Amino acid sequence: MSVQQRHRDVAAYALGVLEPADAFRFEEHLSGCVACAVRLSDFTAVATSLAELAGPGRIDARPSQGLLERLTGEVDVMRRRSRRRRLQLVAAAAALIVALPAAAVALQDGRSAAGQPIVAKDATTGVTAAAAVED
């Protein structure tokens, strides 16, 4: 566990979801870090409130051991998908930037009669652009 990670583990420690080795390391860090001690007092109140909400007859609301790993894995997958979508949008914009001037040049060369649209389509992204000139 890195030093920066220890600062982020305050809430996990307050909820009691850290692995025993990580909890021990965090306690060592806590003895010398005033900021984490203050944050821990804030999170302890939240953890107590959550335990009260669970009530006496309810199932223990503690997460399973691999919950944090699964959640961070899901976040990584969502970020990768977001990056791919962004890349596809950039590719579509680049295709438009290339296709529209090409259509304009084709119109200037007289390859299209007035009123006849010129359509260009990028095979990779499926982006289509159309342009027409009128007298």
**Is the pLDDT confidence value at 23 over 80?**
yes
- Torsion over CA: 86, 90, 91, 96 (sign): positive
1-61 under CATH 3.40.50.300, yes or no? no
**How many angstroms separate the Cα of 74 from the Cα of each of 15, 25, 96?**
21, 26, 33
pLDDT in tens, 60-79: 555 566 766 777 788 888 89
C-alpha to C-alpha distance for 111 and 117, rounded to whole angstroms: 11
**Is the pLDDT confidence value at 52 over 80?**
no
Average pLDDT over residues 47-60: 67
- Torsion over CA: 49, 54, 59, 64 (sign): negative
Which residue ranges make up each domain of the chain?
Answer: 1-61
pLDDT of residue 93: 92
**Is the pLDDT confidence value at 46 over 90?**
no
Average pLDDT over residues 31-50: 80
Q: Report the chain's mean pLDDT, rounded to a whole number.
A: 77
pLDDT of residue 100: 86
pTM strictly above 0.95:
no
